[in-house]
Amino acid sequence: MADLGSGPVAPASGRLKWPLRRRGEPVVAGPEGTAEDIAVQDIAELEAADRQLPPPPPVPMADPPQRFNLAIFRLVGLGLALVLTLALAMVKLFVGGPPSIAQLRVEAGVDGWSELAIGVKDDQPGVAYYDKQSRIWSGFDIDIAYMVAEDLGFRRQEVKFYAIESEDRARMQATDTSGNRVPVKMVIASYSITADRKDKGVNFSDPYLYTEQSVLTLKDHPAVATFRDLSGKKVCSLSTSTSADALSQAKVDVISKNRVSDCLGLLRGHEVDAISTDAAILAGYKKMYGDELRHWDLGLDSTEKWGINVGLGDAPATKALQTLVDVTLYRSWKDPRDNRWELAYQNNLQTEIAANIPTPIAVAEQPPVSRPDVRQLPWESDLP
């Protein structure tokens, strides 16, 4: 149990009951040794000192010589790897590649706009309609405009709608309520994407609605199944409208107006026999006037793809805005929780279906949108 180690032999004291004394060892006196022990030790030390030479002078300790050590190079390499990894990761993330959404916003100048001017139709119930009494804009295009504006960071009161004529859609010049010409930042006005318009420099977003052409007549008109059924008759259409081209091929007497409401006035005044334009536009009138009108489905397989015009030309700002709008459409299409498009359809077009049976109005699904080429950092989730 007791381990006394190499300490001095303990004298018989109170701490240990049985004092031990080792034999055969030189007596070494400690602080507690007896006077006899100390004297013996002193003599022994003196004798030893006499025999020994003086100790050599102390030599300053030199650092051990440097020698090649692989471990330090490993450590140095580790430090280098650390710095390089961080540097390369940052270069990969922030240099080159497509622009980020923040860069696109700067490029498009969105952050400098105090309000967002959007050109829309004002006479198409269900698509874009301005009620002069209540001063409320409503319709599918209006809801899509609010959706885009929301993602661009504009609150509802910062979105300004201006009525735009069909011919002005490419020029993006709208009219305010007092008749002044107003340039707008984008046009969401039942504007079909065509190769011809693209060739002329119009920058369309991806499509936000698929619809088709149809014909609206008074209720006593004979059945219309193709444009040929209208040959020789007077048909009103919108100027610069896609349906005007098809009509002229079918030897129809086309009367072009700038506004669908003008066409409707002619139709109800029996001055024309029919109106031809996109079904989504005509469906709203059919619902509004009920039995007075008939809405005919045409046997056309061509699809009208409505897109958002963000400007003419190849300016970087326009292209950036185009990508930003596409990002919104892509989000709405891809993200199952984003139901803004579905609500817009449900509130404006779905409600017209019953009044228009059996004529289809539009495809009840958002058109697929390809993923915009936008840089997304690993921790961001802007694009689903």
Partner 1 sequence: MTDIFVKGGAIPPRRRRAQLNWLLTALPAFPLVLLVLRLWYLSRQDLPTMLMLVQYVSPLGMISALFITLIWTVPAVILVLRVLGGILLVSAPDDAGRSLVAVTALRMPDWVVLLAVMLAGFTWQLRLLPALGLLVVAVLGLTAVQRFRAERWLMLWITVGVPVLFGALVLVFVWPGIVAALRAGETSTALLLGAPPLLGPLLTGPVPAWSARLVTHWPAVGAALVAPFVIGVVFLRAPVLPNSAVEVGTPGGPVHVVRGQLITVDDTSNTVLEGGGEVTFILNGEVRSKTLCPEPVHPPDSTVSVRGWPVEASALSWVAPTRPVTDVDPRCLGRPLSPG
> At its nearest, how many Å lie between partner 1 and the CB of residue 79?
4
> What is the per-residue burial (b if ≥16 Cβ within 10 Å, else e) of 241-277?
bbbbebbeebebebbbbebbebbbebbeeeebbbbbb
Considering only 5, 222, 299, 358, the residue that binds partner 1 (CB under 8 A) is 5
Residue with tokens 């008109």: 221
* Residue 39 engages partner 1 in binding (rule: CB under 8 A): no
Backbone angles phi, psi at 80, to 5 degrees: -60, -45
Q: Is 360 exposed, middle or buried (0-12, 13-18, 19+ CB in 10 A)?
A: middle
Q: Tokens at residue 287, please?
A: 């619902």
Q: Looking at beta carbons only, is 274 or 374 nearer to partner 1? A: 374
* Residue 6 engages partner 1 in binding (rule: CB under 8 A): no
Site for partner 1 in 277-306 (CB under 8 A): none
In 21-149, the DSSP E strands lie at 116-120, 123-124, 128-131, 136-138
Q: Looking at beta carbons only, is 79 or 232 nearer to partner 1? A: 79
> At its nearest, how many Å lie between partner 1 and the CB of residue 76?
5
Q: Is the dihedral of CA 326, 327, 331, 334 positive or negative?
A: positive
> At its nearest, how many Å lie between partner 1 and the CB of residue 87?
6
> At its nearest, how many Å lie between partner 1 and the CB of residue 159?
25
Stretch that binds partner 1, among 70-78, 244-252, 310-318, 319-327 (CB under 8 A): 70-78
Instruction: Tell me the C-alpha to C-alpha distance, in Å, between residue 381 and each of 101, 153, 270, 328.
Output: 11, 17, 56, 13
Rg, the chain, Cα only: 45
Q: Tokens at residue 257, please?
A: 């107006």
Considering only 12, 28, 82, 225, the residue that binds partner 1 (CB under 8 A) is 82
* Residue 364 engages partner 1 in binding (rule: CB under 8 A): no
Site for partner 1 in 324-363 (CB under 8 A): 337
Site for partner 1 in 94-113 (CB under 8 A): 94, 102
CA-to-CA distance for 190 and 211, rounded, in angstroms?
10
Q: Looking at beta carbons only, is 287 or 340 nearer to partner 1? A: 340
Considering only 339, 370, 377, 384, the residue that binds partner 1 (CB under 8 A) is 377
Residues binding partner 1 (CB under 8 A)? 1-5, 7, 15, 63-64, 66, 69, 71-73, 75-76, 78-80, 82-83, 86-87, 90, 94, 102, 337, 377-382
